[in-house]
Amino acid sequence: MDVTVLEKELKECWAYPYDWQGKKQSNANDNSTRFVYKQNCFADVLREAKSRFDTSDYLFQYSINRWYNYKCSSWVEEMFCSLPGVVPHGNKYHQSIDFYINDVPFDLKVTKILNNFPGGIDAAKEDPKALAQAYYEQQSRGQRHHLENRIFVVLHDHNPASDHIKLKAELSFIEPFVRNFVENFDPKTSLVDIDFSNGGKAKAGVIFVERY
């Protein structure tokens, strides 16, 4: 799908804002909405979600939001893999590796600044290691949980009236930030070292995508 077409499809999701209703991501919710991975366009996922859930049902909103996140992350992953030095993992269903940059394995996470991160975006840019550590510590405990290497693409819109997550639909805007990270990638300077309480270690890259 052409990127401009996909951006239009993603923006159609905005008509169905996601309300967490105090719930968290879980394996049960993921299993109930796995059908979104088979839907290529928004009209299809909307039709399928309406056939399964009432539009007031939390799982209806969860379905739309999950498709939105999936299509955005998949496209950003493709951005990475189209660049020199990046090789996709042979198994697209691998839990903790999406691709390798100069032979270093990474999982990709497209996200926003944590609501409870002290100091917000300015503090995060000053100390990306602390932000990455917080992402690992606060990740969901479902089947997607892991403590391996990750690249966090962190979206932030400086317009106070904007929703940061809407930047996920601005794929053309995200692309140069990804390209700059890969073209200047150096394991010694592009990554931070993460230490876990269980003695494990990981390396993380943090890409700040800011719109002013």
DSSP one-letter code for 138: H
- Of 113, 123, 184, residue with least CA distance to 153: 113
**95 pLDDT more than 90:** no
**C-alpha separations of 90 from 86, 108, 176, 178 in Å:** 12, 15, 25, 21
The reported pLDDT for the residue numbered 39 is 92
60-88 residue pLDDT tens: 999 999 999 999 999 999 999 999 999 99
Distance CA 141, CA 68 (A): 21
pLDDT band for position 90 (50/70/90)? confident
182 near 80, Cβ under 8 Å? yes
The reported pLDDT for the residue numbered 23 is 65
- Of 10, 3, 150, 13, residue with least CA distance to 79: 3
96-134 residue pLDDT tens: 999 999 999 999 999 999 999 999 999 999 999 999 999
pTM over 0.85, yes/no: yes
- Of 112, 14, 21, 99, residue with least CA distance to 65: 14
Mean pLDDT of the chain: 92
User: Which residues face 107 on adjacent strands?
Assistant: 150
Pairing mode, strands 201-211 and 150-157: parallel
Contacts of 119 (CB under 8 A, 6+ apart): 126
**% residues pLDDT > 90 (the chain):** 77
The reported pLDDT for the residue numbered 205 is 98
125-156 residue pLDDT tens: 999 999 999 999 888 765 566 789 999 999 99
**19 pLDDT more than 60:** yes
2 near 172, Cβ under 8 Å? no
